[in-house]
């Protein structure tokens, strides 16, 4: 094959690639205009929907982390954070209040910023402050609801109680009810399935569950081992407490997710704990959420309906909404994912993970300008990380703007210099732009590093074909296909081109993948 014909094929491929991605985006955009049923407080509008007249931002609340006085032990601080999470989740069930998510408010622990500044940064009309002080067997919690624009207290109350599960839950309920009254929100919208109080009277079990949940938020192997230990303590203290089994399942699933354990090692423990919890509480939203996220680790088909059920049981739980939205996006349903992920990003404005998922969904819908605005925000939140760069490149690639795509691909590779996938995209884009000199340098760079990674092997195979190295192209493309095709439209299009080129190179065009 001569160079001129080869370049013609290269240009044809670029056009086809843009059409493939554009078709996916158009289909998603068309579907997004068909309204889906609303779930609780989760909106279902498409990307072009305007702001409702009854904007929830007019009743938006940031529940700041508790200030703990006289509590110095790690477990004491984690227990206090657990109480904060419980209160935040309880208020989140009032659909009429836009409650800022935990991730975003935790940035303001021990802050010196004013209430006005906190409200401005989080988009909150009100801020709830709580301080906790323990004295022997008694506990004192002081709560203040502040107007973020004036700094004035709209409500304040002090609670002095014995330390018991019943009293702690009652304090949370009273605070939530008072906040709702002050912000003119109704408790009637709370789903019947939403848990209102823990099904235990054991303070030891309740405390261990709250501490276990906080340890499970970490990525540290030691903290996750502590999460497992605390959950087992809770099970031993009250074998009839569903949340204790859920804490155990959550901790072990987190270890599997982070590669600290395998499903073969811990899967039986996770499944047994979830089954036991659902026997005790068949409609427990967190049980379905943890089960769905565990199933999603293995990309099992049952994950999607399970995640959807968890969200419908407790629409105020942003973790459940995000998990279902992300799963929809990753199964090529961006039209259904968009309203859910926008809902999460709105309530978790300082979460790079939420904003990244929203940006990728917008890109899949063909809303590339809005997607890039989301990726810009990701980089603001995480300036030293790479997540905001690679998707930025992909959005330009989907529009056929290859020079811009290459610029962001290079930035991604600079931030992750050991990433073969990042280098592979730089090679791919240089080949698309017919800069075979630069592409040759990246091909040599990858060749020294890659032996069994399908995406880089695919890009190397394509470069080999473009430069006339047909046998090497065939060997690499076949190896890449044996190792597995990556699950995204761009990479799949590359693989199809490789197999087509292979067939053409062998003189058998009828066998080409089209």
Full DSSP string of 56-108? GGGGEEEEPPPEEES--SHHHHHHHHHHHHHHHHHHHT-TTSEEPPHHHHGGG
Calculated CA dihedral for residues 212, 217, 220, 225, nearest 10 degrees: 20
Q: pLDDT per residue over 274-301, tens digit each?
A: 999 999 999 999 999 999 999 999 878 8
Nearest to 134 by CA among 92, 96, 77: 77
Given this model, what pLDDT does residue 457 score? 87
Q: To which H or E segment does residue 242 belong?
A: helix 242-257
Q: To which H or E segment does residue 437 belong?
A: helix 436-447
Nearest to 395 by CA among 358, 424, 427, 423: 358
Rounded to whole angstroms, how far apart are CA atoms 168 and 90?
Answer: 13
Angle at 338 between CA 259 and CA 95, to 5 degrees: 95
- Look-up of token digits 């296909």: 481
Burial of 390 (0-12, 13-18, 19+ CB in 10 A): buried
Q: Kindly state the percentage of the chain with pLDDT values over 90.
A: 56
Angle at 387 between CA 381 and CA 389, to 5 degrees: 100
| 3-state SS class at 131 | strand
Angle at 198 between CA 195 and CA 200, to 5 degrees: 150
Rounded to whole angstroms, how far apart are CA atoms 420 and 446?
Answer: 7
> Residue 120 has which token pair?
């401005």
Torsional class of 143: left (φ above 0), alpha (ψ -120 to 50), beta (otherwise)? beta
Tell me the domains of the chain and their CATH numbers: 3-28+353-511 (1.25.40.10), 55-191 (3.40.50.10610), 196-314 (1.25.40.10)
Full DSSP string of 144-175? EEEETTT--EEEEEEEEEES-HHHHHHHHHHH
Burial of 2 (0-12, 13-18, 19+ CB in 10 A): exposed
Rounded to whole angstroms, how far apart are CA atoms 89 and 217?
Answer: 16
Contact 491, 15 (CB under 8 A): no
Given this model, what pLDDT does residue 23 score? 43
| 3-state SS class at 493 | helix
Cβ neighbours of residue 145 closer than 8 Å, sequence gap 6 or more: 126, 127, 128, 153, 154, 155, 156, 178, 179, 182, 183
Q: pLDDT per residue over 87-116, tens digit each?
A: 998 898 887 889 999 999 998 988 889 999
Contact 154, 180 (CB under 8 A): no
- Residue 33: CB atoms within 10 A of its CB come to 12
- Residue 174: CB atoms within 10 A of its CB come to 14
Nearest to 412 by CA among 377, 431, 388, 445: 388
Per-residue model confidence as pLDDT tens for the chain (514 residues): 444 445 555 554 554 454 444 444 433 433 333 334 455 556 543 333 332 334 445 689 999 999 888 777 788 888 899 999 999 988 988 878 899 999 999 989 888 899 999 999 999 999 999 999 988 888 899 999 999 999 999 999 999 998 899 999 899 989 988 988 888 765 444 454 445 566 899 999 999 999 999 999 999 999 999 999 999 999 999 999 999 999 999 999 999 999 999 999 999 999 999 999 999 999 999 999 999 999 999 878 889 999 999 999 999 899 999 999 999 999 889 999 999 999 999 999 999 999 999 999 999 999 999 999 999 999 999 887 778 898 999 899 888 899 999 999 999 999 999 899 999 999 999 999 999 999 999 999 999 988 888 888 888 988 988 888 878 887 887 787 777 654 444 555 555 566 666 666 666 655 554 4
Contact 328, 102 (CB under 8 A): no
Rounded to whole angstroms, how far apart are CA atoms 186 and 196?
Answer: 15
Given this model, what pLDDT does residue 491 score? 52
User: What distances in angstroms separate CA 426 from CA 80, 440, 473, one per listed residue?
Assistant: 48, 11, 18
Contact 130, 149 (CB under 8 A): no
């Amino acid at each position: 094959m001569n160079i001129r014909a080869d370049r013609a094929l290269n240009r044809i491929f670029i056009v086809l690639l843009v059409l493939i991605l554009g078709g996916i985006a158009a289909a998603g955009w068309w579907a997004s205009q068909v309204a889906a049923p609303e779930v609780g407080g989760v909106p279902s509008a498409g990307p072009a929907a305007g702001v409702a007249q009854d904007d929830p931002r007019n009743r938006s609340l940031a529940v700041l982390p508790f200030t703990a006085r006289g509590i110095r032990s790690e477990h004491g601080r984690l227990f206090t954070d657990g109480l904060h999470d419980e209160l935040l989740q309880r208020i989140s069930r009032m659909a009429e209040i836009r409650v800022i998510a935990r991730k975003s408010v935790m940035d303001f622990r021990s802050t010196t910023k004013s209430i006005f500044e906190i409200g401005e940064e989080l988009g909150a009309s009100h801020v709830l402050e709580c301080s906790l002080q323990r004295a022997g067997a008694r506990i004192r919690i002081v709560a203040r609801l502040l107007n973020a624009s004036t700094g004035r207290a709209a409500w304040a109350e002090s609670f002095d109680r014995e330390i018991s599960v019943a009293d702690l839950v009652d304090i949370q309920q009273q605070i939530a009810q008072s906040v709702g009254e002050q912000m003119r929100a109704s408790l009637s919208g709370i789903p019947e399935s939403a848990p209102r109080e823990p099904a235990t009277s054991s303070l030891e079990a309740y405390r261990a569950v709250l501490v276990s949940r906080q340890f499970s938020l970490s990525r540290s192997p030691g903290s996750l081992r502590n999460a497992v230990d605390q959950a087992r303590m809770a099970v031993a203290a009250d074998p009839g407490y569903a949340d204790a089994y859920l804490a155990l399942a959550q901790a072990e699933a987190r270890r599997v997710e982070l590669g600290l354990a395998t499903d073969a090692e811990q899967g039986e423990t996770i499944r047994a704990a979830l089954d036991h919890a659902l026997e005790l509480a068949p409609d427990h939203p967190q049980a379905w959420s943890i089960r769905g996220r565990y199933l999603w680790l293995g990309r099992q088909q049952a994950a999607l309906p399970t995640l959807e059920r968890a969200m419908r049981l407790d629409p105020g739980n942003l973790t459940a909404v995000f998990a279902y939205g992300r799963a929809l996006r990753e199964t090529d349903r961006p039209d259904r994912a968009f309203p859910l992920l926008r809902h999460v990003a709105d309530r978790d404005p300082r979460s790079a993970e939420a904003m990244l998922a929203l940006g990728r969904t917008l890109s899949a819908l063909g809303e590339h300008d809005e997607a890039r605005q989301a990726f810009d925000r990701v980089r603001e939140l995480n300036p030293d990380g790479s997540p905001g760069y690679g998707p930025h490149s992909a959005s330009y690639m989907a529009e056929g703007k290859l020079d811009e795509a290459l610029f962001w691909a290079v930035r991604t590779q600079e931030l992750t210099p050991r990433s073969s996938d990042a280098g592979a995209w730089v090679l791919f884009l240089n080949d698309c732009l017919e800069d075979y000199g630069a592409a040759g340098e990246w091909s040599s760079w990858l060749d020294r590093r890659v032996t069994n990674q399908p995406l880089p092997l695919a890009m190397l195979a394509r470069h080999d074909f473009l430069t006339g190295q047909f046998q090497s192209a065939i060997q690499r493309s076949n190896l890449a296909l044996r190792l597995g095709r990556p699950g995204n439209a761009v990479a799949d299009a590359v693989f199809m081109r490789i197999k087509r080129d292979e067939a053409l190179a062998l003189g058998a065009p009828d066998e080409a993948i089209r």
